[in-house]
Every structure is written in C-alpha cells, then in structure tokens.
Amino acid sequence: MIGQRRARKSWLVFWFALLAFGVGLILGGTDVVQFNTLTWVMTAIAGCAAAVLWKTSLWNPNSNLSANVTRAAADVASGKILHQAGDGSRAVKHLASPPKSTVQMLSLLLALGAVIAAATPEIVRSSRGWQANAEAYPPVVGPGDSTRIYMTENITSIKSYWRGKADVQIREGSNSFPAVTKTNQNDWGMTIYAKSSEKNTNSTPWVGVTIPDEASLAGKAVKCDINIAVQYPRMQGSGTFETAAKNMQRNVSLNLAPRSAGTSYVSLWWESTLTGIGLTLVCSLILVGIARAFQRQAHPTKIFSADGAANT
C-alpha cells in the first residue's frame, strides 16, 4: 500500500508539472506573460511539486503502531477482519516502516533545488538592480540588446498576415539615436487559401528594437518613439481581399540596464528555468521508481472467503 500510493502520487506530480511547465513555456514564448512574472509562476509550480513529493515520501501509515494495533484489535473483535499471526521478523517491520534511502533523500533535496533554480533569474535581476520594463519583451534591456514592443492597436487580417516598416528613435535628454528595427514580414502574393475561421483574425503588430550600443545610455531612462507603417490582407466581399495600410505610433519609456544585460538575463532565464523543470521531472520519475521497487517487496495479497479458505 505504501509503495503503491507513493508511486501514484509521484506520477501525478510528474504529469501535473509537465503540463503546467509546458503551458508556462508557451505563454512565455508567445509573449503572453513577461519573463519576470513567469519566473514566479514556474517557481510556484516547482514549489508545489516539491511539497507534494516530500509529503508523499514522508507519509507512512505505520508511524503510530500503537494506534494501528488498537484500531486493528477493534476490527478483529467486530469480525471485520481476520487476524492471522505473522512471523514478526525484521523484514516485515522493514516493510511496515521503510527507511529513506540515500537516492530517495537526494532526489527530495534536488526537488528543493529545482525551486531555487526556477527563482534564480529574478533573484539575480533584483540583486543587480536591473529594472524590468512592462512594455518590453524580454523586460530587461540594455545598450546593444534587442527587445520587442507591441503596438496598442490591433488589426483584423486574413490568417493574421501582416508586414511592416518601422522607424524608431531612442531619446535620452537632448540626444537622439536611431535604433535598428525588425517587424513581421509576411508575403501573401495574389492568392491566399484560408479556412472560414482564418478569414478575420486579430493580431497586434510589433516592432523588434535593438538599443544603440552607446555606453552613455547604460542605466538611463530613455524614450522610445515608434512609427510603423503596416500592410495586411483584409477580406473584401466573400471571395476577394485587398491590401490595407495603417500607420501606428507609440511612445514608450524604458529603463535601461548595463550593456548586454538583457542578453545575459534571457540566457540565465532559459538555463535556470529549464534546469528547474528538468530537476522536478527527473526527481518525480526517480521517486516513482523507488516506490515501485518498494512495492515489489510486499508479500502477495491474500483474500479470505467466508468459510476461511485462503485464495491468492
């Protein structure tokens, strides 16, 4: 019973963590959730997984043997169960109160290490004073780093197609620096094949901005003036489309970190997050294996019929 329950709970932790981490990575990779916010979500997932693994591994229904004896005596007296004397050997006691193996304890410690690993990006960011910008993806950016900024307006196009040409100026005080930009560049040609559900889809144009590699901008608050000319295919009638055009502007304030801090932050985020995910999943599987091995040590279950004949 102990091994079976531990294996089942550890499997549940594995699948829950795999699903939750997967959803988190998708949300982060599609810029739905900021990396700095997602860090704490991943930390919470790893923390919940570690807590359940610890509780499951430490759970032992035979920890209070005197209470078990009292309860069993009452069941025997009422005829609920039939008592058959055992050998009382050390092997039986070992099965009733299994000790924690070195591998098991190491796995539990590594599960706690997964929590620390998942939280590392934000611990490092805070300790180094790198500010997170809510409008930038990723949120940490310094001179020489690239980030993505979304416009405040949406467009409705076929299959979410659009392309744009952007101009971005970085202003710090009276100084202005042109930024290297990148936008979406879909090419739809003269014919588009689309399902009914794809004919009118919403999307938000974005601009990838590379901050000028100017030492004077490190640690400064700057203004980012964005202008983008967007083109997109729009339904016209039931079976034709037209290429629509729209100009968008946005002004965003950014608090810059030191040079290339954004690149370092993104690398650290992926390394630490994947380490936390890997440790959680591997520890869950190791504990499943340990529980299964312990389960196999149990004596075969015997079922007694009403006439006292034993069946296995």
Among 11, 41, 25, which Cα is nearest to 274's?
25
201 and 289, same domain (yes or no): no
CA–CA distance, 107 with 86 (Å, rounded to integer):
34
182 and 280, same domain (yes or no): no
DSSP string over 32-50? SS-HHHHHHHHHHHHHHHH
What average pLDDT is seen over the chain? Answer: 87
278 and 247, same domain (yes or no): no
Q: Which residues contact 24 (CB under 8 A, 6 or more apart)?
A: 33, 38, 41, 42, 45
- pLDDT given for residue 78 in this prediction: 73
Arithmetic mean of pLDDT, 204-221: 95
Q: Helix, strand or coil for residue 292?
A: helix
pTM of the model: 0.80
The CB density around residue 177, as the number of other CB atoms within 10 Å, is 17
In a domain, 124, yes or no: yes
14 and 123, same domain (yes or no): yes
The answer to whether the bond into 99 is cis (omega within 30° of 0) is no
202 and 296, same domain (yes or no): no
Query: In residues, how long is the chain?
Result: 312
CA–CA distance, 141 with 262 (Å, rounded to integer):
4
- Write out the two tokens for 87: 């050998």
Where is the domain boundary, 233, 256, 279? Answer: 256
List the single range of 42-56, 267-281, 285-299 with lowest mean pLDDT: 285-299
In a domain, 149, yes or no: no
Arithmetic mean of pLDDT, 234-245: 90
Where is the domain boundary, 256, 279, 299? Answer: 256
pLDDT for 259 beyond 70: yes
22 and 56, same domain (yes or no): yes
233 and 183, same domain (yes or no): yes
**Backbone phi, then psi, for 85, in 5-degree steps?**
-60, 135
Secondary structure E strands in the chain: 136-137, 146-150, 155-157, 163-172, 175-178, 180-182, 201-203, 206-210, 221-236, 240-255, 303-304, 310-311
pLDDT for 97 beyond 90: no
In a domain, 269, yes or no: yes
Arithmetic mean of pLDDT, 211-217: 93
DSSP string over 242-280? EEEEEEEEEEEEEE--STTHHHHHHHHHHHHHHHHHHHH
181 and 164, same domain (yes or no): yes
In a domain, 169, yes or no: yes
- pLDDT given for residue 96 in this prediction: 57
- pLDDT given for residue 157 in this prediction: 96
In a domain, 213, yes or no: yes
For residue 306, give its domain range.
2-60+98-130+265-311
In a domain, 137, yes or no: no
119 and 26, same domain (yes or no): yes
Q: Could you identify the residue written with the tokens 């995910």?
A: 277
CA–CA distance, 95 with 132 (Å, rounded to integer):
53
C-beta of residue 113 within 8 angstroms of C-beta of residue 279: yes
278 and 238, same domain (yes or no): no
Q: Helix, strand or coil for residue 175?
A: strand
Classify residue 95 by burial, with Cβ atoms within 10 Å: 0-12, 13-18, 19+. middle
In a domain, 72, yes or no: no
- 37-44: long-range pairs with CB below 8 Å, 24+: 39/118, 39/119, 39/121, 39/122, 39/269, 39/273, 40/119, 40/122, 42/118, 42/273, 42/276, 42/277, 43/115, 43/118, 43/119, 43/276
211 and 286, same domain (yes or no): no
Count of domains forming the chain: 2
C-beta of residue 178 within 8 angstroms of C-beta of residue 253: no
Among 94, 12, 19, 2, which Cα is nearest to 53's?
12
In a domain, 191, yes or no: yes
Arithmetic mean of pLDDT, 99-107: 84
pLDDT digits (tens, 9 = 90+) for 62-72: 555 555 556 66
176 and 294, same domain (yes or no): no
